[in-house]
Chains A and B, each alone.
Chain A
Amino acid sequence: MSDVTDTTHDASTRPITSRRDPRYEVVMYRHVGVEGAHTLDYYRSHGGYEAARKALSQMSPSQVIDEVKASKLRGRGGAGFPTGVKWSFMPPVDGRQRLLVVNADESEPGSFKDRYIMEDDPHQLIEGMIIGCYAIQATKGMVYIRGEYVKGYERLVGAIREARQAGLLGRNVLGTDVEVDITVHRGAGAYICGEETALMNSLEGLRGNPRLKPPFPAQAGVYGLPTTINNVTTMTSVVHIVSRGADWFASMGTEDSKGTKLYQVSGPVERPGVYELPMGATFRELIYDLAGGPKEPAKGFFPGGSSTPPLPWTDEYLDLPMTYDAMAKSGSMLGTGGVIVIPREKDIVSAMYNVVRFYAHESCGKCTPCREGIATWLPKMYQKLLAGLGTREDLSLIEDMVRNNRGTAFCPLADACAMPVQASFKWFRDEYEYIVDNGKPMYTKSDWWQA
């Protein structure tokens, strides 16, 4: 069942929602995997920095914002907020330093699209940041990259140095009177620092705890200054929107989810990895056509990272288009588009314990429901189930406990754990009941670390 909106029967004006469509072209990921693609010379010889030149010399900042608005680009970090609208939240220029922060923390399990951009195509990110800084009239860009991405950090810093030497960053970008410079800040191993307000606290040197909103970053961000925060591939999308036009971008995707997007597949499939697709493509196309399909029978999948509720492996869900609206209607979320395939032989209780352990470890500890519920109680409940000591009452207890975690915590991390747990109960309750009734899991395969 496809959610493609057919405005006419004319094939040339129908939106592009599949890689099979001959009009579709991979633009963001075309250099990834190519030896030497991270250098300035390579990037330039493939049309690099022409979009930035166009924006800085032929458009005004507000025209750039309008173009991004018209493209209907939605943020690629998981929340899917319209980027042009977010940029227009910045207050009028008033003399205070303005900042563009790029969230390269990428700690969502199942997401690894930003990594290869920074490793193999850092100049694409830099170009996007130049355009973004120009649009919101910020002279400083800051990249917050997760500490674990060492290669990405080194490549990015190297690329910035190249860009500075070539006059692409600094006082007079591309010979104009626009000033943009970029610094890179490494994180130190906290998923919560991917949450934008905790990221800002971390940038300031404070504990990585989220902040109250309001005030929003545009009003009071890093050091209280007007700040816009975007994901890595939101910035790279901007490069192509400026280069080829909002109409081109909007010609791909569905009514609510436009453009080209990087999706990821992990788990036991033939070809796990990152795949660029137009929005509106289905899970089936991603998992089977591009990733070669599962290597063994599968029973479910996370559609967009471990924070999104898992869905069963049925035609109904596999044929859903990978868009924000379709996913919301299905009872899950698109998130970062990082599909994680759950093989049948992986007991769901064990799989969910793995997920819960992650959130327990990453909880920042600020608020009570997450610190005590998610980080302390929930993993212990799963340990009890997996030790064969669980009871039916324990299942009700888990369900009650995560219900108390829904919507009560300070930030969405608790929901990011609670919702998948609830979905696992909805779709795979039989496995939970089996383990408490029999004292051992329904699926006992446990040696998963195999090539």
Chain B
Amino acid sequence: MKVHINDVAMDFPQGTSVIDAIFAAGYDVPYFCSQEYMSPIGACRMCLARIGAPRKDKEGGWILDEATGEPKIFTFPNMMATCTTQVMEGMVVDTLSEDVKRIQSGMVEFTLINHPLDCPVCDKGGACELQDRSYEYGTGVSRFEFDKRHQEKHHPLSEVITLDRERCIHCKRCVRYFEEVPGDNVLDFIERGGHTYIGTFDPGLPSNFTGNITDICPVGALLDATSRFRGRNWEYKHIRTTGMDDASGSAIMVDGRTGRIERIKAALNPDINKTWIDDGTRFGHEYADAPDRLTTPLLRKDGELKAATWEEAAAFITERLGGMSGKDVGIAIRADATLEEGVAAKALAEALGTGQLDHAPRPAASVIPAQDPATFTDLATSDGILVVGDVTEEVPIADLRIKDAMKGVTPPELMPHGVPIADLRLKEHPQLKRAILTVAAPYRVDLMKHAGQTVRYPAGGEAALFGALTKLAEHGGERVDGEPAGEGQAGASLDDGERAALGMPYEDAAALVRRLKDAERAVVVYGGFVLATRAAAEAANAFAKAVQAKVMILGPMADSYGLELLNVGPSHERYAYPAMLTEAKALILSNLDPGQDPDVRRALQDKELLVVHDSFLTDSASVADVVLPAKSVYERDGTTVNLEGRFLGVHAASVESGESEDFVGLVGRLGEALGQRLEGRSVRSARRVLRKRFELDPAELSPAGRLYRPKTRRQARVAIVSHEAFDGNLLVTPSMVRIEYLTRNPHLERVVEGARLRMHPDDAALNGVADGDAVRLRVGGVLRRAVVREDDTVPPGLMLLPCLPDQPVGLVQADLTTLTREERALEVAG
């Protein structure tokens, strides 16, 4: 419909809000309560404009202006909030007249009445919507001369978010965010009128997505505690890059200053994370600036690790390598390395002539679906979803996109000014279509509280669960009154074992199968629990095929998909990681720490050469011959591929980390020492390889990234040794917060209260520990430190512990005889 905004006439589809029409036309109005991807509510009254529209008479024709013969424009008696008004045919909008300007400056004056003059000490200064709108639309002087209201300042809403109640302008973005986006209603207004303030009933904001409110708060009321008082917004260098903490490929903005990362914010990617990131990505950056970061190479001289130069270290390595066969060297990089680092690793392996190359953690099954993987948009528009695992911890953004599907609102069309400011399809208090979601896991996971159907199956039972479901699916999913199908009868017959494996009544399973089959855009989502065994993954893929669902696989780390695509893997199963730790005589390990297992650490000491590339002096590094300082994920230029198969650019922020290099830099240095020009000796040379291999230019990737769909079938990957019969008494679970950096991320550490070893209260009593005890435990050999949490939703006999890169998701055996409380000296004495 045609709309006139001041002197511009444009066409808009029905349902467009007037405020979006205004911005699309190139004009603007102030607003505080509207927020992209959230419901418009018309509360702040800043966006008021003078609007008129023609009217139809009883016969359906336009009422005409007698003078001009054109449809007469009837001006609405009051100014209208443009965020909650729909465009109408022939509407006329005025945002420039004196009347409108007077109201705009009046609203600014009202908004500033109780707002404290904190600008000189407020972190939001320079990036503050209230500052900007006051400057643009206010008169510059306030006539309010009385005492402003006083409220609590710097109230710790949680360990990572500080609330200043005086600064709040009551836009309600934070309240609506929690209700509409993650569905965790943890904030609300308390009291009324001029006394209204933001508060919570649950201590510490229990949600994985709390940090986004610090992005959307238009003023300095909600602030990131990790960057409090760390700098002024105009001093920060903002680098847009891709988050490397999980496989989502979320867009982030890294704010740095004087060689430190001070803050991480969300960046816009409509296809992946919209404008949201999870708390692990946002607040988990402090380790990059930890004081104990390695800044120079270390060389073992006289039994001690001493600082050395890269030339010295590279020369040492080259010399040692010269005395052994190249094929006895094992090279392993972490699965959040960039593609360029993968190219470098492959080049080095080829130069050395070794087939012992791998990236870790690498699950037993492939992270690349046989058919085209489901995209986040597929997930967000799905009408039937089955999730197996804990997606809220594994790839948190997938949780939010699932909730998009449950709200039933498709992603908005982008407008000239970007994402619509006021999407009128979004309403407060949205009703989620719970029926479309089934969540299955061996323990209670957060997403279950929103699901229409929840399934608790026994840990390790993924293959059996999918096997039984597939049988149901292939036989039409018809219920046969609980009796085995008779001759010629349609229906599935499941034996007792298969029924038990379902973890739910037969009827519910049949209903699930029917629901997914009837859905037009079904998606099956699975992660580490299923990837842990080939059998489970095959069964899951067979099920998805049987119900004609797309598959979304949550790989263990950021570039799992990319490194598998690039085939950074061994020439034989016995050379895979961690098998290569025994097989190889020399090892080059990047960002991996197998030495956390004391037995492995002892074995590592006997290697002819152990080179550890890491940011910190880990257990493995402490027994290495050479330690090389590694760049953190924030300091690398490169490319990564997320779980959709989307190529995304990674851009380095400037962090003062001495002589750190990423694996590309390491290979470059080694290449110099070896006298070879290795591919992947630099990002540029690595990209030549990538360009050729994938027919796209990583240097020219747009911020949105690019979905890659190979034209030919991939070569088969070499699997790792996997256990087909999965057994254990402890389930290693996915974790949004990276446990390997927990002690160096003090804010996040306080949020999660340590690595939690969850167990049933009966098991705690049985093992002589209690809630809150700090303990040590050998889990699958790895020595883990954790804090006991008694939880009666954990099945008795099973314990839960979050994962590490060297201890991926899945069932393992914990040696409970090694469970000991960490006593402090004072405690023992007292």
Task: Report A's interface with B, CB cutoff 8 A.
Answer: 190, 192, 206-208, 212, 224, 360-369, 371-373, 375-377, 380, 384, 397, 404, 407-410
Contact = CB atoms under 8 A, between A and B. Distances in A.
A375 B193 contact: yes
17 contacts: A207-B192, A360-B194, A361-B193, A363-B192, A365-B191, A365-B192, A365-B194, A367-B45, A368-B45, A368-B111, A371-B193, A372-B113, A376-B149, A377-B110, A377-B146, A404-B106, A408-B45
Nearest to B84: A212
Interface of B: 41-46, 48, 77-79, 81, 84, 102-103, 106-107, 109-111, 113-114, 143-144, 146, 149, 169-170, 172, 188-189, 191-196, 429, 431
B45 A377 contact: no
Query: What is the predominant secondary structure among interface residues of chain B facing chain A?
Result: loop
A362 B193 contact: yes
A366 B191 CA distance: 11
A357 B546 CA distance: 68
A367 B194 CA distance: 10
Contact of B77 (A363, A364, A372, A407): A407
B48 A206 contact: no
A368 B46 contact: yes
A371 B44 CA distance: 10
B112 to A, nearest CB: 8
Nearest to B76: A407
A366 B32 CA distance: 13
Contact of A368 (B107, B149, B193): B107
Given A190-B192, A371-B194, A380 B44 contact: no
A115 to B, nearest CB: 24
A368 B169 contact: yes
A368 B189 contact: no
A208 B191 CA distance: 11
Given A372-B114, A373-B110, A377-B144, A408 B78 contact: yes
A448 B114 CA distance: 34
Contact of B188 (A190, A207, A361): A207
Contacts of B41: 212
A371 B189 contact: no
A372 B194 contact: yes
Contacts of B191: 365
Given A408-B45, A408-B78, A410-B42, A368 B192 contact: no
B217 to A, nearest CB: 16
Contacts of B189: 207, 365
A136 B140 CA distance: 55
Given A207-B189, A376-B114, A410-B45, A371 B196 contact: yes
Contacts of A208: 192
Question: Of residues B106, B172, B193, which shows the largest number of chain A Cβ atoms within 10 Å of its Cβ?
Answer: B193
Contacts of B169: 368
B126 to A, nearest CB: 23
Contacts of B429: 206
A403 B78 CA distance: 12
Contacts of A407: 77-79
B180 to A, nearest CB: 14
Contact of B44 (A190, A368, A373, A404): A368
B135 to A, nearest CB: 18
Nearest to A362: B193
A312 to B, nearest CB: 26
A365 B170 CA distance: 8
Contacts of A365: 170, 189, 191-196
A371 B188 CA distance: 17
A300 B51 CA distance: 37
A371 B170 contact: yes
A211 to B, nearest CB: 8
Nearest to A373: B110
B132 to A, nearest CB: 17
B193 A364 contact: yes
Nearest to A366: B43
B423 to A, nearest CB: 14
Nearest to B80: A407
Given A224-B431, A376-B114, A410-B43, 8 more contacts: A360-B193, A365-B191, A365-B193, A368-B44, A368-B110, A404-B106, A407-B78, A410-B45
A408 B79 contact: yes
A194 B467 CA distance: 59
A446 to B, nearest CB: 24
A368 B41 CA distance: 13
A366 to B, nearest CB: 5
Contact of B103 (A372, A384, A404, A410): A404
A224 B430 CA distance: 11
Contacts of A362: 193
Nearest to A403: B106
A363 B149 CA distance: 16
Contact of A372 (B110, B195, B431): B110
A375 B84 contact: no
A364 B45 contact: no
Question: Of residues B45, B106, B109, which shows the largest number of chain A Cβ atoms within 10 Å of its Cβ?
Answer: B45
Contacts of A371: 170, 193-194, 196
A408 B105 CA distance: 12
A367 B44 contact: yes
